[in-house]
Amino acid sequence: MLSLKVLFTYNQPQENIEKIKELGYEVIVKNEKYLELTKDILDIDAMICYKPFDKIDISKLKNLKWIQLSSVGIDQVPMDKLREQNITLTNNRGGYSIPMGEWIVMKILEMLKNSKEFYEKQKNKNWKLDTSLLELYGKKVGFIGTGTISIEAAKRLQGFEIETLGLNTNGRKVEYFDKTYSKDNIDELLKVSDIVVVAIPYTDKTHHMINKDRFDSMKDGAYLINVARGSIVNEKDLIDALQSNKIRKAALDVVETEPLDKNSKLWDLNNVIITPHNSWISENKGKRRFETIYENLKRFKNNDELKNKVNINKGY
């Protein structure tokens, strides 16, 4: 029986490669940044990657049946070509959810406890009491999206004695959420939430989902966190809401255009915390990612159902 051929577009530890070879795969590793459509990859059966699609035309890979992304987001993938070639797509759903859940909790507390302002005081050696700090206790945290990232954050918020609210397609119940709303009732969630966390997949339907109308629905002085994709939030409307203090503070790990332009007003707003799409990083990210990859490589070889299969038509 001929071995299956898999292309990795980023480096793997040699021990991982050996484990994959033991499954019966021929493994090719090429750096995604310099990837070219060379003869040795034309007959690959599977590709483990992040974003090689601007480097190679996957329609030329006639044997390609499955793409495993290292990311959770899928907006970099040419879906039309996957449909045409009947290629299965899987992502790394859940692989970064724990560090991102921790990041959400951290930023909620930083905003309520004015950490950014205290760091600035320390930098300037300014010993001055701040009596405007708030408690997280008793607050309502509304999650736009109840996937694994939101679940891990909601789980970690339980000890703070808050009310966790969640928005999903049909309002189905999800563990760690006290109440859930359907997508048609988003304004009901927004109007009662003290803190709004955007953690929903980016699709054509969620583009600029959080806009002026949604900000108008929020409480005056609400807090906003975005760990999803920048384009889910209308950035111009967000800046207006921040400048008017409709949104008291925002913590943004993502923005519409990354990296954030040096001339963006977001840099200069005192009520914004910005991190460079960094919330997913942890010492365990590679281990969790490989566990999913290895499990799916076993399943692919045996023609079993793959984990984290993406519905290409829905976009998540």
The residues assigned a catalytic role are: 277
- What are the structure tokens assigned to 118, written together? 């205290």
3-state secondary structure of 56: coil
AA identity, residue 18:
E
E strands along 219-291, which residues?
A: 222-226, 247-252, 272-274
- Cβ within 8 Å of residue 216, ≥6 positions away: 246
Handedness of CA 168, 170, 171, 175 (dihedral sign): negative
The total of other beta-carbon atoms located within 10 Å of residue 124's CB is 9
Coil vs helix vs strand at 201: coil
Hunting for tokens 């984990």 — which residue is that? 307
Token pair listed for 290 = 């490989």
Please give the order of strands across the beta sheet that includes 46-49.
25-29, 4-8, 46-49, 66-69, 88-90
Q: Quick one: the chain helix, strand, coil %, rounded to 5? A: 35, 20, 45
SS (H, E, C) 296-313: HHHHHHCCCCCCCECCCC
Evaluate whether 297 touches 25 at the Cβ level (below 8 Å). yes
| Total residue count of the chain as it appears in this document | 316
Backbone angles phi, psi at 196, to 5 degrees: -115, 125
Residues contacting residue 87 through CB under 8 Å, at least 6 positions apart? 58, 64, 65, 66, 67, 81
